[in-house]
Amino acid sequence: MPNGNEAGIFGQPMHWYVDRAEWSFVYLSLFFIFGFLLSYWLQVSYLDLVAPLNLVAQIVAAIVTAYFTGIRHGATLAQTIITCLLVGASAGLVAAVLSFIRFFYPWLLLNLVTEPVWSALLAAGMGAITIGFFHLPKLIKKQQTS
């Protein structure tokens, strides 16, 4: 019988990270589905319009997630990076599923593995850069005053 203590990563239970990443995932999924349907409606190439917009949306979502998790809610760098990893991996998975549905090539099944991985790494990097960008001036100022 569990004793009520939930195992966690870097001092927080796993549902804490999922709660932080939830809204970014919802907005990204809606954006991806909208772009997917828009490419049919406008009769434009998926690779010319939708794929670059999805990449930009993933980067923006990682930056926004890092800002709200690390800066506004005071999470540590490791906690922020894990949250960004979740956002990036889920965004990559949604984009991979939509591209598989669009083209339906068997080799795109490999994309279901590779795209979440590189999206997660990109999101983690953007999260670390965002935290560094906002916290570095404070750290420099603190060092100069001491």
Please give the model's pTM, rounded to 2 decimal places: 0.75
7 in a structural domain: no
Comparison of pLDDT for 136 and 67, the residue scoring more: 67
CA separation for the pair 74, 20 (Å, rounded): 12
CA separation for the pair 96, 110 (Å, rounded): 9
How many domains does the chain divide into?
1
Please give the DSSP secondary-structure letter assigned to residue 1.
-
72 in a structural domain: yes
**Cα-only R_g, the chain:** 18
- Cβ atoms within 10 Å of 13's Cβ, excluding its own: 13
Residue partners of 102: CB distance under 8 A and separation at least 6: 36, 39, 46
Tokens of 94: 């949604």
% of the chain with per-residue pLDDT over 90: 3
112 in a structural domain: yes
127 in a structural domain: yes
5 in a structural domain: no
120 in a structural domain: yes
1 in a structural domain: no
Domain that holds residue 88: 12-145
Q: pLDDT tens digits for 35-44?
A: 778 777 888 7
4 in a structural domain: no
Q: pLDDT tens digits for 87-127?
A: 888 888 888 887 788 778 888 788 888 888 988 999 999 98
pLDDT over threshold 50, residue 1: no
